[in-house]
Structures are given as structure tokens and as C-alpha cells.
Amino acid sequence: MATDGYFGSVGRHDIAAVMAPFSEDAVMTAVAQAIHYEGKQAIKAHFTEFLETYPRIDVRILHAMADDVNQAASVHFEIEMENTAGAVQLMRNANHFHFNAKGEIAQVHIFMTGTPGAGFTAGNNA
């Protein structure tokens, strides 16, 4: 999931592959920011805007671990994003995933360094 799946799909701008593992009622929250997406459609709106805002997204996985018993995973990573104007933003983030009984992503808690730029408005229910 971490390298070729979810994060790899973000880097490839493959919205269908990014969205495939999410449950219909998934929730994604940036814990320290006022960012909260509730439901697969809100998350898709976010990723559509995000991928359009940043034509270049490079993700480097620093550390990943999974807890099969509790159906959870944690991924620490660097993400370098270049927007359409050529401005580059580098962040070190951690995403904590919780999966439902079907193995779909049910919750994502995101810890971001700094304040995200554009690409986080669409679908935000906060």
C-alpha cells in the first residue's frame, strides 16, 4: 500500500487508483489543521483539486509499519510538491490509516509539518 499503492498512485496522478482503497464512509483528517473530509466523495474532491494544483508530486517513504491485528498502518514520508507556478513545497508527514473489515481505508489521520498550500479546499467539511 505505502509505496506502489496509495502513495505511488498520488505521485502518478492516478485518481482512480488513489480512491480505490477508500470505503464509502471514509474520513480523512489533518489533525493540526482545520482540514476534515467526510465520505469518499469529499475525499475525491480533495484529491482531484490536489492533483490539479501540483503537477509534480514526489513521495519518499521514510518508514512504514502495519498492525495486522488492529487493521492499522502508519507511514512517515517526505512529500515534495511543485505547483503550476513552479513553487516547490517540501513537507515531512505521517499518515495513520485504519481499515474496516473489508480491508478498505476507513480513517486517515494526517500529521503535516507546516501549513499546506493550495489544494486542500475542495471537499473540506471543517
What is residue 4's predicted lDDT score, i.e. its pLDDT? 72
What is residue 38's predicted lDDT score, i.e. its pLDDT? 97
Could you tell me which residues come within 8 angstroms of residue 47 by beta carbon, excluding any fewer than 6 positions away? 10, 15, 18, 19
Tell me the backbone φ, ψ of residue 88, rounded to 5 degrees.
-110, 135
What is residue 126's predicted lDDT score, i.e. its pLDDT? 66
C-alpha cell at 119: 489544494
**pLDDT category, 122, cuts 50, 70, 90?**
confident
Mean pLDDT taken over the chain = 92
Question: Residue range 9-32: average pLDDT?
Answer: 95
pTM summary value: 0.92
d(CA 43, CA 36): 9
Question: Residue range 26-54: average pLDDT?
Answer: 94
